């Protein structure tokens, strides 16, 4: 049976001619071009700034528009494979948005961070407009990094006096008491993702200086008990691994002038079977309180290999079918 879709060739010329931008667009060994080809089901060839796109009419038109938008962005930012992957997964929104949305950009002294999806934009917006914001979704959606970036921005603007980053120290069935080494050695592996985000936003030397001055504090959740946290930006990461009592304890630590972000993935709970997740529990009732909001990230927001998004989607379908 013959397809009703007509195959066409379209030639586009990217202006102005800029070799650096063309390199960013195409990627190392044309890695970005191959990714665009696969997503839109077209063939792309180029010589310099002249591109030929072959395939079905609609796919070719979308590819042409997409390449031109990416080329525009390449003037001011690197186009890494994972960034491109997120743009592709949100291509419908990306192509319909002709003007760059700078309102939700996070401007730091070291760099400017631009949200790559509608959910990332929502997350930043809700952090800026609420006392407590929940970011729920799989690893790789950027929720922890964006939360840390918002915290650094608030600190640099003088909106808060310190940043407090917290994680449950019991994960994957391991208890601190049975791990070798002193406390710092024990908790650092659990907190490394937070360090990585800080280093990217502030630089290695600045992070260490702020840690020494206690302007930035990274600690296991148990260390929050009995404290009142004023004028601070507080992030609770991997919150799905809190118990109900731990979550209640944490949320009642928040003092005046503070903002709080809670991130977690309710599909990756590592608690013992007889313990209920504090994150999952509180989401059933807490969002009705004014000043508390949430964003649920989806498979399309994942900034990892494209197969990861597909895996997450299939797991979500399987769970929904069981429910």
- Looking at the domain assignment, is residue 223 inside a domain? yes
Q: Is 219 left (phi over 0), alpha (psi -120 to 50) or beta?
A: beta
Query: ∠ at Cα 253 (281, 210), nearest 5°?
Result: 115
Of the three residues 47, 73, 96, the one that is the final residue of a domain is: 96
Last residue of a domain, one of 77, 96, 115: 96
**Same domain, yes or no, for 39 and 73?**
yes
Rounded Cα–Cα distance for residues 167 and 135 (Å): 14
Distance of alpha carbon 126 from alpha carbon 142, whole angstroms:
15
- Compute φ and ψ for 167, nearest 5 degrees: -140, 145
Domain coverage including residue 25:
7-96
For residue 1, being part of any structural domain is answered with: no
Neighbours of 288 (CB within 10 A): 6
Q: What b-and-e string marks burial along 51-61, b requiring 16 or more CB atoms within 10 Å of the CB?
A: bebbbbeebbb
Last residue in a domain, options 96, 131, 151 = 96
Residue 43 covered by a domain: yes
Number of independent structural domains in the chain: 2
Task: Read off the tokens for 237.
Answer: 């990461």
Task: Note down pLDDT in tens along the chain; length 323 residues.
Answer: 444 567 888 888 888 888 888 998 999 889 999 999 998 999 999 888 889 999 988 888 889 889 988 888 888 778 888 888 878 877 776 666 544 555 678 888 888 887 878 888 899 999 999 999 999 998 888 899 999 999 999 999 999 999 999 988 764 344 555 444 555 555 666 678 888 899 989 999 999 999 999 999 988 888 888 888 899 999 999 999 999 999 999 999 999 999 999 999 998 888 888 889 999 999 999 999 999 999 999 877 776 666 666 776 777 677 667 66
CATH number, domain containing residue 18: 3.30.1370.10
Same domain, 215 and 296: yes
Q: Does one domain contain both 31 and 62?
A: yes
Q: Residue 59: helix, strand or coil by DSSP?
A: helix
The SS3 of residue 161 is: coil
Domain assignment present for residue 144? The answer is yes
Residues written for the chain: 323
| C-alpha–C-alpha distance, residues 173 and 297, integer Å | 26
- Asked if the structure places residue 2 within a domain, the reply is no
- 176 with 302, same domain: the answer is yes
Do 150 and 124 sit in the same domain of this protein? Answer: yes
| Statement to judge: residues 138 and 19 lie in one domain | no
């Amino acid at each position: 049976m013959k397809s009703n879709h007509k195959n066409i060739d379209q030639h586009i010329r990217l202006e102005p001619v800029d070799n650096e931008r063309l390199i960013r667009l195409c990627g190392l060994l044309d890695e970005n071009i191959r990714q665009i080809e696969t997503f839109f089901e077209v063939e792309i060839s180029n010589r310099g700034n002249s591109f030929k796109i072959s395939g079905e009419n609609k796919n070719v038109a979308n590819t042409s528009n997409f390449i031109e938008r990416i080329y525009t962005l390449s003037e001011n930012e690197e186009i890494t494979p994972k960034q491109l992957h997120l743009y592709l997964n949100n291509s419908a929104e990306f192509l319909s948005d002709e003007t760059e949305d700078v309102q939700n950009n996070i401007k730091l002294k070291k760099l400017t961070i631009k949200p790559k999806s509608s959910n990332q934009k929502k997350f930043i917006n809700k952090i800026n407009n609420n006392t407590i914001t929940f970011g729920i979704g799989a690893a790789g959606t950027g929720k922890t990094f964006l939360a840390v970036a918002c915290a650094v921005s608030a600190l640099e603007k003088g909106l808060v006096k310190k940043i407090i980053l917290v994680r449950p120290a019991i994960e994957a069935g391991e208890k601190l008491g049975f791990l070798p080494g002193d406390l710092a050695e024990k908790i650092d592996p659990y907190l490394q993702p937070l360090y990585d985000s800080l280093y990217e936003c502030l630089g290695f030397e600045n992070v260490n200086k702020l840690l020494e001055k206690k302007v930035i504090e990274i600690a296991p959740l148990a260390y929050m008990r009995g404290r009142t946290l004023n004028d601070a930006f507080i992030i609770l990461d991997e919150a799905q691994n809190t118990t109900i009592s731990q979550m209640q304890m944490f949320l009642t630590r928040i003092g005046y002038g503070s903002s709080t972000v809670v991130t977690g993935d309710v599909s990756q709970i590592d608690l013992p079977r007889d313990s209920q997740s504090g994150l999952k529990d509180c989401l059933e009732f807490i969002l009705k309180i004014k000043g508390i909001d949430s964003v649920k990230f989806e498979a399309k927001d994942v900034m990892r290999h494209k197969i990861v998004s597909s895996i997450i989607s299939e797991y979500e379908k399987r769970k929904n079918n069981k429910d």
